Amino acid sequence: MKSTINKIIASIKLAVNESITRSVDEGAFTIDHMPSIIIEVPRDTTHGEFSTNVAMQITRQAKKSPKLIGEVIIKNIDTNNSYIKSVELAGPGFINFHLNQNWLYEVLEDIYDLRGSYGSSDIGAGKKVNVEFISANPTGPMHMGNARGGAIGDGIASILQCAGYQVSREFYINDAGNQIEKFGQSLEARYLQLLGQNIEFPEDGYKGEDITEHMKNFIEEQHKEYIDEESDRRKKAFIEYALNLNLQKIKEDLNEYGIKYDVWFSESVLHCQNQVNAVIDELKNKGYAYEKEGAVWFKATEFGCEKDDVLVRNNGIPTYFAADIAYHLDKLRTREFDWSINVWGADHHGHVARLKGALEALGIEPDRLTIIIMQLVRLTRKGEISRMSKRSGKMVTLSDLIDEVGKDAARFFFNLRSPDSHLDFDLDLAMEQSNDNPVFYVQYAHARICSILRQLDVEVSFSQVTLTLLKEKEEILLIRKLADLPQEIIMAIEKLDPSKITKYALDLSSDFHSFYNACRVKLEDEELMKSRIILIQCTKQVIENCLGILGVSAPEIM
RNA sequence: GCGCCUGUAGCUCAGUAGGAUAGAGCAACGGCCUUCUAAGCCGUGUGCCAAAGGUUCGAAUCCUUUCAGGCGCACCA
C-alpha cells in the first residue's frame, strides 16, 4: 500500500541523511545528533517539488551558517537512481529538490491499481480502536450538536479505517440515571394533563412537543388504564414506551444520515451487571475513594483535578460519572480496545480530566483515551441566535435538517471546519439556498467526469497509454494534487480531523474544473485522449475515496 | 475568580507540528458556452494575523501579560 509520494519523500530523506553523515565524516561540520529531517512541499512551485530546512535546523549545533551547511549537503548528496533532477540552495538556507516528472505518472498507476484503497496505509497496524460519538440522550430527538458530532465522529472512524486501524463505532445509550427519571416525570405530567387533571409540570422537565405527542399516542393505544396506577409503575411503563420509540427514531435518523454503528451500548446494562458498583469498590480498595457526608467521593485532586467528585450520591444512587468510569473500563480493560476515542461537545470538557484520572487510578494508561472536544453549534435564523435546548422545547432536529438540506450537504458542511472551531449554522442559508453549499462543487466534478466517460464509452488499459503526453499545466497540477491524498490522510489522522479531507476534496475539485476548462478529453488524437481518460478516471476514484470517508454520496448525474 | 476553546480580508474560515512574497470561498466588478454538464472556468484587490512584550538566523504559529467572545467549574448528564 506504499504510495509513490511516500516512497519519494522517504528516499529524499534517506539521501539527505546520508549526505549529512558523509559531510560530518569529512569534517565539514559537526553535529551532536541527527535532526529529524522534514521534507515539505514549497508553496511556490519555482522552489521545486520538495524542500527541506535541515541546513537551518542544524546551524546551532554545527555552528556554521545555513548556507555553508546547505552547500556541503548538496555537494555530498547522491542523486543517482532517484527522481531528483537537481538540487539547489535558496533563500535563507532551504535545500530545494527538483524532480523528473516521471514520478507523477507513477501516481496515476498507483491509483489505477489501488482504487478504493488508494490513500490508505498501515500505520494503524491493526490496533483496535473504539470510536464513540453522538451518544445522544434518548429522551428526545437529536439536535444540531448531535448532527455535528455524528459527522465528525463517523469521519474520524473512517479515516482510522483507512490507516489500517480496526475500528468499532459505538453509541452509548444513556438509558439510566437522573435524566431518565425526569423524562418519566415529564411523561407522567403530560399524561395526567391530557386526561384532564390539573397537574403542575416539573420545573426542569422536558417541555418538548414530543413528550405530549408520545402520551397522546399512548392514550390512544392503551386508553386510560394507567390513570389509577401507582406512580412508579406508571412512570416505568411510560419510560419504556417512549424510550423505545425514541431509540427507534434515533436509529432511523442515523440510518438516513449514513451512519452505521457496530455497537449500541446501554448504560443500564452496566448497572444490571453490577459493573458500576464493582468499579466503585475497586477505587475504594485502591484507596482512591472515600465517604463524606453520606456520599462516596473519588480523589480526583490526586490526579490534577481541582476538586474531588461524587461517585455515589447520599441517596445511594451512583452518578453518571461513576457509570462512565465503568463504561470506559469496560472498553479498555474488558473489551481490550487499544485506543478509545470519544467525540464530546464543549459543554462536557470539564469531565475529561476526572475521567482520565479515574482510569489512571484503575491502572489504565490515560493516553489510551482521547477525547475530541467539539465546539458547539450555534444556530442563527434571520441574524438571530436561536438557542437549542431539549428542555426549552423548540429546536431544530437532525431529521429536520436532513429533510431541508439533505444528508450530503449536512455531513459535508459539518466537516468544513475543524472540531475546534465554533460553528455558526445559518439556517436560512442552509435551508433556502442549499445550492450554495460547497458539497455540490465536489459532487459536480464527479458527475462531470462520469458524463464524459459515459459519452466516450472507450475501454482503456494502462498498457496502451502514453502518460507522458499529459504535460499541460492544468494536467500536471491535477496529478500533483492526486498524489497528495496519502499525505492528507496521514495529516487528518494526526489531528483526528476529517475537515482536512473536506478541504482536500474541494482543492482537488477545483483543480479538476480548471483542467476541464483548459483541456478537452474527447479528441481526434486518440493517444492523448486515452491518457486523459486515465487521468479523469483516477480523479473520479480519488473524489470517491474522499466522499466515502465523509459519508457523502458521489452522484453520476446531476 | 479558576480551567478549556477561539480571535487572520467586508463575511465564513485555511494556514501543513517556527520557514521563503499570509491564502481560499462568499460578497463586488469584468470576461468565457455553434465542441465532453456554466452547480463551471479565467481575471481584478483587500490585511497593524486582537494588543503589548519575550524566545532566535526567522513568529500568524512557541512563552508571558492584557483585551474580546464561547463553554465549563452540581450529590445534572
Residue type, A410: A
Residues in A 416-445 whose C-beta is less than 7 A from nucleic strand B are 416-418, 420-424, 435-436, 438, 440-441, 444
Phi, psi of A177 (to 5 degrees): 95, -165
Statement: the CB of A94 is under 7 Å from strand B: yes
Across all strands, nucleotide nearest A503 (CA–C1'): B14
DSSP string, A89-124: EETTTEEEEEE-THHHHHHHHHHHHHGGGTT---TT
Is the minimum distance from the CB of A320 to strand B below 7 Å?
A: yes
> Which pLDDT value is given to residue A499?
95
Residue A94 CA to residue A233 CA, distance in Å, equals 75
Across A346-383, where does the E strand assignment appear?
Answer: 369-374, 377-381
For residue A416, the 8-state DSSP code is S
Sole residue written with cell 498498457: A463
pLDDT at residue A389, as a whole number: 46
Q: pLDDT tens digits, residue range A375-389? A: 988 877 665 666 544
A137 touches strand B (CB under 7 A): yes
Which nt sits closest to A88, CA to C1'?
B20
In the 504-533 segment of chain A, residues within 7 Å (Cβ) of strand B are 506, 510, 513-514, 516-522
Task: List strand B contacts in A 266-295 (CB < 7 A).
Answer: 292-295
- Strand B contact with A452 (CB < 7 A): yes
> Is the CB of A260 within 7 Å of strand B?
no
Which residue, among A164, A535, A172, has the nearest Cα to A341 in the 3D structure? A172
Structural domains of chain A ordered from first start: 4-100 (3.30.1360.70), 133-261+375-436 (3.40.50.620), 438-550 (1.10.730.10)
CA A98/CA A17 separation, integer angstroms: 18
Rounded CA–C1' distance between A412 and B7, in angstroms? 25
Residues in chain A: 558
- Residue nearest B26, CA–C1′ metric: A436
Chain A residues 192-251, Cβ below 7 A from strand B:
none
Nucleotides of B under 7 A from a protein CB: 2-6, 12-17, 19-21, 23-27, 35-42, 56-58, 69-77
Q: What is the pLDDT along chain A (558 residues), one digit of tens a residue?
A: 567 888 888 889 899 999 999 998 988 888 887 887 888 888 777 888 899 989 888 887 787 888 888 999 999 998 887 888 999 998 888 999 999 888 999 999 999 999 999 999 999 999 999 999 999 999 999 988 999 999 999 999 999 999 999 999 999 999 998 889 999 999 999 999 999 998 889 888 888 889 999 999 999 997 778 988 899 999 999 999 999 999 999 999 999 999 999 999 999 999 999 999 999 999 999 999 999 999 999 999 999 888 999 999 999 999 999 999 999 999 999 999 999 999 999 999 999 999 999 999 999 999 999 999 999 888 776 656 665 444 444 678 899 889 888 999 999 999 999 998 888 887 777 766 567 788 999 999 999 999 999 999 888 888 888 999 999 999 999 999 999 999 899 999 989 999 999 999 999 999 999 999 999 999 989 999 999 999 999 999 999 999 999 999 999 999
Indicate yes or no: strand B within 7 A of the C-beta of A68.
no
Burial A247-266 (b: 16+ CB within 10 A, else e): bebbeebbeebbbebeeebb
Strand B closer than 7 A to residue A179 Cβ: yes
Distance (Å) from CA A519 to C1' B36?
A: 10
Whether any strand B atom is under 7 angstroms from the Cβ of A450: the reply reads yes
**Could you give the CA distance from residue A118 to residue A114 in angstroms, rounded to a whole number?**
5
What's the pLDDT score for residue A33?
79
Q: What is the pLDDT of residues A323-366, one digit of tens each?
A: 999 999 999 999 999 999 999 999 999 999 999 999 999 999 99
For residue A171, the Cα-to-chain-centroid distance in whole angstroms is: 15
Neighbouring-strand partners of residue A369: A340
| A511: nearest nucleotide, CA–C1' criterion | B41
Quick one: pLDDT at residue A384? 61
A305 CA → B23 C1’, Å: 41
DSSP A362: T
Distance CA A139 to C1' B60 in A: 44
Give the dihedral sign, CA A344/A347/A349/A351: negative
Cβ of A64 near strand B (under 7 Å)? The reply is: no
With distances taken from each CA to the C1' atom of nucleotide B58, the closest residue turns out to be A92
Q: Which tens digits make up the pLDDT trace of A433-485?
A: 567 788 999 999 999 999 999 999 888 888 888 999 999 999 999 999 999 99
- The ipTM assigned to this model is 0.95
Q: Is there a contact between A98 and A88 (Cβ–Cβ < 8 Å)?
A: yes
Nucleic strand B near CB of residue A448 (< 7 Å)? yes
